[in-house]
Amino acid sequence: MPDNIIESRITGPTGAIVTAEALIASRFTARYVDVTGQSRALANLAGMRRARQRGRGVEFDEVRAYAAGDDVRAIDWRVTARSGSPHTKLFHEDREQPILVAADLRASMKFGSTQCFKSVMAAHIGAIALWSGLQAGERIGGAVLGDNTLHDTRPKRSQHAVLSMIGGLMSEGHPGGNLQGADKTMGDLLHQLERIARPSARVFLISDFHDLFEADYLLPLRRLVRKTQIIAIAISDVLEAELPKAGFYAVTDGVSHSQLNTGASGVSEIYAQEYRDRQNQLSRRLRELRVPLLLVRTNQDPLRQLLTVFPAQ
């Protein structure tokens, strides 16, 4: 899509609160994105040489009399026994690809230093993916992870499924939260995805991934990778990558308060390097699992970022 058309659209979410109006309005943005497609860019993000269709299979169609050249492995022995003559099963290719959005909106996502909170960006991208999937005629659904709750929507080819997901995103998209009081983890989200995702699904896993690689979460992630196509979207903020200019800053995690001196010798360099190391580890581990990773910051236009991987067909 030409740059002037992109720039004529809403450039992205703003603020600290997830609103129904913004997520419903994203259905118009979704017309320019095809989240069901395969692209060279998507394959490159996953570390693959070429794009591949994953999870597509066959579904039973009908039984008819066996004909010379039919695959003997498809013979329906029950019908053959009843009728006294050989019959074979016919199948048609299953082209359905449910689109699931798994959004992490826990306390660590309630942060942003410029245009919007990470939670708001995650909700906005998730809504675009849902609307795009519905417009492509696919079943859509997913799950929203909060600090103490987990909302899920079973995949359906229905606008009500999108609105159900939007309800979950709004419920968990308000500022606040307490990391010390949270009892939900990335593992809870992955286990729920295992329950609702069919083998042909494409899953958009949206988070800051601050705890993805804890040992307990790797096993369900590996199982999901084997049966679905996961696309990871990592949301970050510029202040997580680099400290602000030298000075004294008051900081809090919602419970305790402290003061940070960004002018201290070496502090900014160490901080920036630790961020790069975390991002490199995330990218490396996901590539080992052949999971594409798309990086989005809170001051970027989500439509422009999505178009690099999911251009409209």
Would you kindly state where each structural domain of the chain is located, as residue ranges?
3-51+96-307
Fold of 3-51+96-307: Rossmann fold (3.40.50)
Residues of the chain with pLDDT under 50: 1-2, 4-10, 49-57
pLDDT of res. 178:
55
Q: What are the tens digits of pLDDT across the range 186-211? A: 999 999 999 999 988 999 999 999 98
Global pTM? 0.82
Token pair recorded at residue 275: 């961020």
pLDDT of res. 60:
63
Mean pLDDT of the chain: 87
140-145 and 150-156: which strand pairing? antiparallel
pLDDT of res. 50:
41
From first CA to last CA, the distance across the chain in angstroms is: 11
Closest by CA position to 141, among listed 105, 193, 186: 193
| 232 SS3 class | strand
